[in-house]
């Protein structure tokens, strides 16, 4: 990874970088997929506090064996156009970051496979080979996403106006506000309403024409 970058593109993970919501794939392992999917929808629409919602959804994962991560990873579908977008960012001297309210246990495989340069997510607590239903450390919420975008920009010498944030959920709005350009992708109504630009097609290659040449 280069020390400095011309520009920075930060993507959300679930339903942005990938088509899935990883917490739903993990909840399926506990037989609680539908319930957790409904709670995730409400959180992404911005109807409930993200951190409170995440803690209660993670509690539903208690007892899921850590081998479930490999099964979840196998079910992940990268979003159409994601490889083209990441190649284009790199070809133009940019850096790609992913900041997620999801989990390092999955992103640590998926992000490098797709060519992402830096990533940050939550960590799940496990004991004796099973999830305890707790999140380890502070939650990556909307504020943490915005702070992470600013931190990566400053570490790599990227001015604020050359930062791009791409997301679908209410917890992406703050990073979209602090970015030079905030893009709603595959997004909930509240996110579309506040974004600088809305990308309607589920194809991340649509972002390429917006990048610096």
Distances from the Cα of 31 to the Cαs of 35, 48, 63, 168, in angstroms?
Answer: 9, 23, 11, 26
**Nearest CB to Mg ion, comparing residues 12 and 206:** 12
28 is catalytic: no
With contacts defined by CB under 5 A, name the span among 9-17, 24-32, 104-112, 113-121 that binds Mg ion. 9-17
- Least distance in Å: CB of 134 to Mg ion? 22
Q: Give the residue, chosen from 5, 7, 9, 15, that forms a contact with Mg ion under the rule CB under 5 A.
A: 15
Residues 62-121 contacting Mg ion, CB under 5 A: none
Q: Own/partner pairs for 102-108, CB < 8 Å, 24+ apart?
A: 102/13, 102/14, 102/21, 102/22, 102/23, 103/22, 103/23, 103/26, 105/66, 105/69, 106/22, 106/69, 106/72, 106/73, 106/76, 107/13
Structure tokens at 96: 């790609």
Q: Does 169 bind Mg ion (CB under 5 A)?
A: yes
Count of residues engaged in binding Mg ion, rule: CB under 5 A = 5
State the Cα–Cα distance between residues 17 and 128, nearest whole angstrom.
31
With contacts defined by CB under 5 A, name the span among 83-91, 131-139, 141-149, 169-177 that binds Mg ion. 169-177
172 is catalytic: no
What's the angle, vertex CA 69, arms to CA 65 and CA 72, rounded to 5?
A: 120
**Nearest CB to Mg ion, comparing residues 21 and 105:** 21
**Nearest CB to Mg ion, comparing residues 50 and 69:** 50
The catalytic residue positions are 12, 14
**List of residues contacting Mg ion (CB under 5 A):** 12, 14-15, 168-169
């Amino acid at each position: 990874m280069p020390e400095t970058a011309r520009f920075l593109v930060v993507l959300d993970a679930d339903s942005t970088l990938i088509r899935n919501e990883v917490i739903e794939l993990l909840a399926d392992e506990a037989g609680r997929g539908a319930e957790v999917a409904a709670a995730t929808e409400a959180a992404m629409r911005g109807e409930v506090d993200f951190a409170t919602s995440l803690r209660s959804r993670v509690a539903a994962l208690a007892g899921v064996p850590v081998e479930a991560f490999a099964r979840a990873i196998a079910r992940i579908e990268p979003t159409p156009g994601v490889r083209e977008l990441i190649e284009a960012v790199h070809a133009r001297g940019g850096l790609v970051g992913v900041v997620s309210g999801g989990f390092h246990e999955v992103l640590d495989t998926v992000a490098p496979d797709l060519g992402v340069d830096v990533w940050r997510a939550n960590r799940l607590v496990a004991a004796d080979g099973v999830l305890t239903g707790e999140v380890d450390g502070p939650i990556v919420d909307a504020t943490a996403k915005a702070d992470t975008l600013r931190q990566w920009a400053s570490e790599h010498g990227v001015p604020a106006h050359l930062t791009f944030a791409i997301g679908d959920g209410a917890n992406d709005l703050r990073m979209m506000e602090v970015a030079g350009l905030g893009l709603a992708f595959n997004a909930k109504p509240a996110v579309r309403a506040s974004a600088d630009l809305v990308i309607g097609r589920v194809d991340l290659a649509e972002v390429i024409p917006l990048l610096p040449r």
